[in-house]
Amino acid sequence: MADGAAINDPSSLRPDRLDILDALRGLGIVLVVYGHVARGLMKAGVLPDGGLWRSADALVYSFHMPLFFILAGWLFRQSLARQGALRLLGNKIRTVVYPYLLWSVVQGSVEILTAGSTNSGNRPDLLQILWQPFDQFWFLYALFYVFVVATLIYTISRRHLTPLLLLSVGLYLIPPQTMTGNALVYVAQYLLYFALGVLCSLKLPVPLPPTRRWVFGVLGAAITLAINFYPIEWDAESLNWVGRLTSLGCALGAAIACLCGVSSLWPSLQGWLRHYGRYSLQIFLMHILLASGARIVLLKLFGIHSAGLHLFVGLGAGVWGSVALAAALEVRGFGFLFAWPRLKADALKPIA
């Protein structure tokens, strides 16, 4: 078990803690790819849009994106202590805003050019990406604004977590339909998950001891499954604050279950997930193009409608294909496609 000093030291993370978080991020990105592949197959009529497939879709979408905000918050204190506020935000422009803009244009252009061959019903308006994200890129757009707000509040409050938690709870309970502006809506929906990630970095020892791992894992899974399959209407955008708290409980239960599950995996499987986690940005940016391309080739070139084969090929193209392509591009000097080249160490001075 980690001692209290190790848990509360914001300047460093033990390698085993970082490995677990990388593996958890890897599981999250695999679920993202699965969700998009499965929905694409439902729209194409390869998978039935109902029954078990729809239940699996609802389960995955109930927590996989909140999980990424929790993980971002988990590493926030370490990054802020190491870089300072100004350099941290500058780094997010380099690694979040830049790929958001670049790949929105790349994917949007491809969608416009192939509009007759894809499932996309609406062509993206590339002139609006500064305020209106499309497809999966809403996450990068939201993540940057969450980082800006969290950094400002955490720095102004002299790195006390309570003001950030109180603000995030207050915003979360406001129905999104009553707000204007995409940035504000996303911050209101996801800042709380980020703040809870910061809280986890303070209070939760990782890796969890085996006994706690099983207890927390079963409890988290039970909460998530109970909420997903209980016959009530709820969602993250509900006007009813009870529905919003239910959504929060579902996401947190699933995040705990995933943490415990990943911690209990065989080292080889955990290693694969860590590898995917370290390439999670590249997978996120490219998986739609590669998985959609694989689906189109199977359907229109070979006339294949096997749901199992489509899922396997789509997941393979979205995950393994993205990792292989990213590694090849980086080796050949094209790493700038995923992040703006690093600034000199003294270009941005940290704020104490």
pTM: 0.89
pLDDT of residue 13: 54
Minimum mean pLDDT among 65-79, 121-135, 216-230: which range? Answer: 216-230
How does pLDDT run across 218-229, given as a tens digit for each residue? 777 777 777 666
Is 50 exceeded by the pLDDT of residue 6?
A: no
Answer whether 110's CB lies under 8 Å from 134's CB: no
Answer whether 34's CB lies under 8 Å from 312's CB: no
pLDDT of residue 3: 34
User: Which pLDDT band, with edges at 50, 70 and 90, does 351 fall under?
Assistant: very low
**What mean pLDDT do residues 256-275 have?**
89
The residues, any chain, with a CB within 8 Å of residue 172's CB and separated by 6 or more, are: 188, 189, 191, 192, 244, 248
* Length of the chain as a residue count: 352
Helices (H), ranges, 44-173:
51-61, 64-74, 76-83, 85-92, 98-113, 138-156, 162-172
Is 80 exceeded by the pLDDT of residue 347?
A: no
- Is 215 strand, coil or helix? helix
Answer whether 94's CB lies under 8 Å from 342's CB: yes
How does pLDDT run across 71-110, given as a tens digit for each residue? 999 999 999 999 999 999 999 999 999 999 999 999 999 9
User: Which pLDDT band, with edges at 50, 70 and 90, does 266 fall under?
Assistant: confident
pLDDT of residue 75: 94
**What mean pLDDT do residues 229-243 have?**
57
Is 80 exceeded by the pLDDT of residue 243?
A: no
Domain ranges of the chain: 9-337
Nearest to 163 by CA among 189, 191, 186, 190: 191
User: What are the respective helix, strand and coil percentages of the chain, to the nearest 5?
Assistant: 75, 0, 25
Indicate left, alpha or beta for 71 from its phi (over 0: left) and psi (-120 to 50: alpha).
alpha
How does pLDDT run across 145-159, given as a tens digit for each residue? 999 999 999 999 988
pLDDT of residue 77: 94
